[in-house]
């Protein structure tokens, strides 16, 4: 029941404070990071599309989060020097790899959300 689920050496993995994996995990599991990565898993999208899909995000956080994800090599940005400007965002290969792990998570959250949040927790 509590099999060795964890790739061992995990104690030297995500858990030590200040290790790179913590930082990356924080980027990726950030409030808006998850949402944007999932949205982008459906394919290339424009700034305004993302702004609409990640309902409630501010422009500041959208820019900031996309930049972080881009620096992490998860998102690629293609700007076209036209007027009006057009910028497309998409996942890199590595980003797709990651989103494949994120999507089930979001699906799980979606499935269990109501029964869990509305105190109807079956206990045990």
- Residues that bind its own copies in the complex, under the rule CB under 8 A: 1-2, 5-7, 10-11, 13-21, 23-26, 28-31, 34-35, 38-39, 41-44, 53-56, 71-73, 76, 92, 94, 96-110, 112-114, 116-119, 121-124
Q: Can you state the angle between helices 31-40 and 20-28, rounded to 10 degrees? A: 70
17 three-state secondary structure:
coil
Distance of CA 3 to the CA centre of its chain: 28
φ/ψ (deg, to 5) at 87: -130, 130
How far apart (Å, rounded) are the C-alpha atoms in residues 18 and 1? 31
Maximal C-alpha separation, the chain: 59
Q: Is 77 in the site for DNA (CB under 7 A)?
A: yes
> Is residue 30 at the binding interface for DNA, with CB under 7 A as the rule?
yes
- Answer yes or no whether residue 34 interacts with DNA by CB under 7 A: no
- Window contacting DNA (CB under 7 A); options: 7-15, 86-94, 105-113, 116-124: 86-94
> What count of other Cβ atoms lies within 10 Å of the Cβ of residue 9?
7
Residue 67 binding: pick among its own copies, DNA, none (C-beta 5-8 Å cut-off by kind):
DNA
Binding site for DNA (CB under 7 A): 30-31, 46-48, 56-61, 63, 66-67, 77, 79, 84-87, 89
């Amino acid at each position: 029941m509590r099999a060795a689920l964890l790739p061992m050496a995990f104690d030297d993995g995500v858990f030590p404070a200040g290790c790179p994996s913590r930082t990356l995990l924080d980027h990726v599991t950030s409030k808006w990071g998850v949402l944007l990565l999932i949205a982008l898993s459906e394919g290339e999208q424009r700034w305004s599309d993302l702004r609409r899909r990640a309902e409630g995000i501010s422009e500041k956080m959208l820019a900031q989060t996309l930049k972080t994800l881009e620096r992490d090599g998860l998102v690629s940005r293609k700007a076209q020097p036209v007027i009006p400007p057009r910028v497309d965002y998409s996942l890199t290969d590595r980003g797709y790899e990651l989103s494949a792990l994120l999507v089930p998570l979001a699906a799980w959250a979606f499935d269990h959300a109501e029964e869990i949040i509305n105190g109807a927790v079956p206990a045990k």
